[in-house]
Structures are given as structure tokens and as C-alpha cells.
Structure 1
Amino acid sequence: MGAVGVLIVAALLWFLFSPDPVRVELARVTQGPMQVTINNQGQVRVHDKYNVAAPVAAELQRIELHDGDPVRKGQTVAVLKPLPMDMRQRQEAVARLEAARAMAREAGLRVRRADTELQFAISERARIERLIKDNFVSPQAADKARTAESTARAEWNAAKSREQAALADARAAEAALSAADLPGAGTKRQVQLVSPVDGYVLRVHERSERTVSAGTPLVTIGDPTQYEIVVDVLSTDAVKIAPGNIMLLEGWGGGKTLQAKVRLVEPVAFTKVSALGVEEQRVNVLADPIDPLGPLGDGYRIEARIVIWSADQVTKVAGSSLFRVGDAWHVFVVENGHAREREVKVGQRNQDEAQILSGLTPGDTVVRYPSNQISNGTRIEASNPAGNR
């Protein structure tokens, strides 16, 4: 009986003086799909815009077109009556014409280059498909080849559009120069500026009749059925993005997530001042929509998530449960009401979750937001008994 009494007294003392368990939030180790994304705001814009501008100083006739009106290639969109030129102005007009012709020649060369790259991409895709059929390469290679072909085709279309715009600018500059009068010449001739492509009027910059200077934008034309998504990201993030990556479009006002595919990561960065006044080097990422954009139009804002890594089945845990010990990652695993510190090996991480390569198994329970009150062996009590967040 004496021994039993001692045990009872010891148990009573332990109950009275032992520290209370620390209340913690728990999370379950799960298995499932995971993505790593680069997130930022972006906007929808028309793939190719064409600005019809006054090639020389002139009297602009009233423009009867309105925003949203359809136009055909070659349709007159503005009429000018060039003002008389002195010798200096004529030399400037000649220089603009020569520059426009040079741009047209450059655009033609870019079309030929884009055509060569497209033909190579087509032949490469066909070659890869033959190799897959003979089991020489994996089927994943076909996806890369098709993406390369799609990118090359988009670049060819863009190059053709730029060539059409450059040729239209050259014709307008030539017509304006030939119609301009020297001082003392007779009646002024009219110059008709035409649409370089089939499309819609996106904006009429100058509607009323007035005198305009050379280079004044008059009408912007584009095809609102051909959109692209542009998102600027930090240059340190841009190096992780590649053509073919999926871009998820959210926060645009609709109830579903839309998909786009990255077409180009621009090779040149630019400086942008953040809301905190910090200068950042940013890079534009361009993507082509996969899903129909519905009511979205030119300049509409979207929230973009660019997927740079994904997997269907990974062991993952809430990122808030991880903490550093030296160069290693550790967690507190719940065992019989106590926290047990354990080292884990972490793979990919996103804002919410971390991939676990070793150290944990699905179904384990870990402590989220571990504080300094917790150490190896600390008694804990769950504030969220389910522990499934």
C-alpha cells in the first residue's frame, strides 16, 4: 500500500504542477495535385493594332467612323488636304517616305524569316511524330514540337500583319508627298488614308475637321477577335517561364478560370517603379487565349497565374508548418499529444503548400505556425481538432 500511495501522490503532483498543453493549429499531410505559379495582374489587348496617322501636315476632313465600326482592307478611313510645303518640310516628307519604305523592306525580311522558321517547325513536328511512331522518342516530345509550331505560326501571322501595316504607311506617305503643293501651286489635292487590314475601329483619335501636324494619330484599327494576354513579371521570375506554359486567368469578373498559353517571353526588360517606390526590372510575358474570352475586351484587367511546374500526385503539406534549422527544413509531427521535431526534404513550393520528398507520409498531422513555445516533446492541444487544413 505504501508504494501505491507514493504513485498516487506523484500523479497528483504531476497533475497540479505540470505545464498546460500549448494550443496549436494542426494540418494534415495529404496527397494530390500541386502547382507552382508566378502571379501578377495583366491585361487583355488586341493582338495587332494599326495606327493610321497623318503622313504630312494637312487639313483633316471630319471622320465619320465611330468606335466599333467594321472596316475592310483598303477602305478609306480619313481624308486629308495637305498644306503647302516649303523646301524644309518637303525634305522632311521625303525622309519620312524613305523611312516608311525601309520599314516595309524590313517587315518583308521578317516575314521571310518567320516563314523559314515556320517551315522548319512544321518539318520538325512531322519528324518527331515519325520518331514517336517508331518508339525512338517519348510522346512528350510531340507536345514541345507542336508548341514550337504554334509559336512559329503565330510569329508568321504577326510578321505578315506588320508588313501590311508598313506597306500601308509607305503608300500613305508617298500619296501625301505627291499631293502636297509647293508655295504658289494650284488647288490642293485630297489624300485618302485607307485601312491596312480587315478589322474594327478601336478608337477615333481625331473626329472633327481641323489642321493636324505630321504624325498625328487619327484612327486605331484592330481585330477584336484576335486577343493576347500581356503580364509583366520580375526579371528574376521571367527566367523561369517558357513558351508553352499554361496561364490561368482569374479575377476578370466572371465565375470561371480561363486558360491561355504563353507564346513569348520578351527578351528585353524595362524599369518600373513599384507602389513602394522601388525600381524593378520587369519583363512582359505574352500569351494566346485557349478558352474564349467572352465579354473581355481590349484593355480589360485580369489576374494571371503562370504555371511553371505541376504534378498530379505529390505528398504535400501546408507551407506554414515548415521552419528552418540551419540549411534543413523541419516540422513538428503530432505523436500521442506531443510535438516531435522531424527533418524533412522539401521539393517544390508555392504560396500555400510544399512538396515533401521524404520525412512525412500522407495522413501524418503537423503543427502549423510553430511558435517558440514549442520544442521537441512539448504537450500540445489542437485548436482545430480536425487538423485537415
Structure 2
Amino acid sequence: MNRNIIAAFAAIAIISGGTGYLLSGSEDASPDQAPATAPETATTPDSVAMTPERIKAADIALVEVGPGAFGSEIVAQGSIEAPPSGVAVLTAGAEGRITRITKQIGDAVSRGQTVARIESRDAADISGDLRAAQARAAQARAEYEREQRLFDAKVTAEADLQKARADYQAAVAAVDAAQGSAAAAGVTGRYVLVRSPISGSVTAAPAKLGNYVSPETELFRIANPNLVQAQVSVPVADGRRIERGARAVIEAGGQEIPARVRSVTPSANPESRTLTVILTPTAGRSMLTPGDYIRARITAAKGGEAGLSVPAEAVQSVGGRDVVFVRTDKGFAPRPVQLGARTSAAAQILNGLKPGETIAGANAFLLKAELEKGSGEEE
């Protein structure tokens, strides 16, 4: 009897527990209690608040979306160089000893300004040749004038006068040649004056006071900071799509400097198998320093697919979707986009953006991190 009672109570307890479990499960699934997956959807932020000051501090680039052809922009690496007319190498020009130096590295130099003086035996010889030529010319002139007077007085023959005239003209020519040699060598007396052929700044000055130098010894290098160009390399296939005068953008030091294509080499470099493209800045030359490495974006003359093109770094993956961050009044909002072709520099947008919208370009990954951080805090 007792055994039957105990069994009955056990059955009731089991049924009650099962009913409670069902009721509990039912309550967990009720709308009042959020399901396990609900917080992820409900708490994901739909924007990133950011002031213009924070955008600038984070160095987030703002890019205006515009219509264009994907693949019509060629990205190339290179460096800033001085064109042949923008740099000068000053040599001694004669054998001798440096007796005076007037400029050093960093100093400004005007065209024709003397930067050094060399005492030279060669200079003394050139000066001596000039003085001798001038003396012969003076004597030839006196002889010519004398023969002219005699001829006018009908004392001498016309042949003598013509010979005197020819001798004088030859002597004048010799003076001109000697003066040209002296000027070309920068000779004044026994000194050679080293002058700059361009205006600019001294970028190198190996000359030392008192040094004995030979004619080919380099003394100074002068560069004009306003005369610079970009030299970049592109694959042969891309080089065929670039035309002289095409627009380009030079990226240097966080700045974008407009430029034009000056020339494209007709043959490839035998080692790198690339073509060299020369870009001439149309503004912002003062922001470019010879020797700096740069990146350039060149507008191709042909090729490319219709659509919108954005910088590759503008596209971020959020929640398994490709998005770009569109500028809003309070910051940025992630916008899902449909991508087409992609390269290391750009991405083709098939759907999700409109021309004229402003998006985050470089450093857009910071917005992704901020978005995911906000999502994690709400969870």
C-alpha cells in the first residue's frame, strides 16, 4: 500500500516538473523576452557619430563619388625628380686652389651669382692670352689707321691699306675669341669665378676652402625647388593607354597635387619591363621634394567599364556585407553596396551609391572599428 502511494506521488512530481519546463520554455520564447539572436540585430548601430575635427584628426579622407569608368585610372609608384633644367652641378672648371667660398648647403642662390673663387695658373694663362690679343689688336688698329692716312694722301698703294685692314680685323677676332674663353671659364685675372647657371638653393657643397681641385671636381649642386616632376613606372599594357597631356594626381605627404602627363617613354626598361611616365605638377610644387617616393593616379585615355569607381580602401566588410561609409550630418552611416570588379587601388560599385555622395576613403577601417566597438558595448 505504502509502495503504491509513493509511486503515485513520484508520477505527479514528474508530470509537474515537465509542465513547469514547458511553461518555462514557453515564457522564454514569448515576445516580452528577447530571443538569443535578437540582441545582435536590435543593438547593431546604424551610424558612427564623428565631428569634422575628429575626422581631420583621424586623417579620414573624404571622397566625392562621381560617374566614371572603372579601370580608367592607372595607379603607379615612383619618385619626385628634378628636371634637367632644374638642377645644376658646378665644377671647378680649372685646376687650382679654392680661395673663397660664399655659399653653403641651404643657401639661396641667384642665377649668375658667384659661389666660389679659385686661384689658378690656367686662369692666369687665359688672362695673359687675352691681354696679348688686345695688345696685338691695338697695334693692328694703329697700323690700319696709319695706312688709311697714307692712302688718303696718295702716298701708299691700296693693297697696303687692304692688308692693314685685314690684319686689324683678324686681331679683333682674336680678342673676341680670347674674351669668349675667359668668360666661359669664369676667368678674372688669375682667378676662376664659379657662378650658378640657375636660381635655387644649394643642395650639396663638397667644396672646402684651401682644397686643390681639378677642372672636373664637383664643388656645388644647385636645385630649383619650383622645377620638379614626378617619374613613375607603369606596365607596358597600361602605358599604351596613357596619352601626353592626360590628367593625373600625385599623392605625397598626405596631399593630392594635380598634374599632367608630360611624356611616356616609347620603349620599356630592359630590366623592369615597364614604361616611364613623366608627370608635371600644375600646382603645389612647393609640397614636393626631390627624392621623395610618391604614388600617382593617371587618367587613361581609353579602356574601363562604365559605372562608379571608389578607392579600394573605402570598401569595408561589416557583418559579412560589403559597405562604404557615407558622410552624414553627424558623422558616417554604413551603406551596403554591390561590387563589380576590384583592383588593389579601386573598386567598381554596381549598386548602392549615387554620384555626388561623399564617402570615407583612406582610413575608412577606423569607422568600421568604431562601429563594431559600439555594437560590442551595447551587447
Normalising by the smaller structure, the TM-score range is 0.3 to 0.5
Q: Which has the larger share of helix?
A: 2
TM-score by length of 1: 0.43
| Higher RCO (Cα < 8 Å, 6 or more apart) | 1
Bigger Rg, structure 1 or 2 = 2
TM-score by length of 2: 0.44
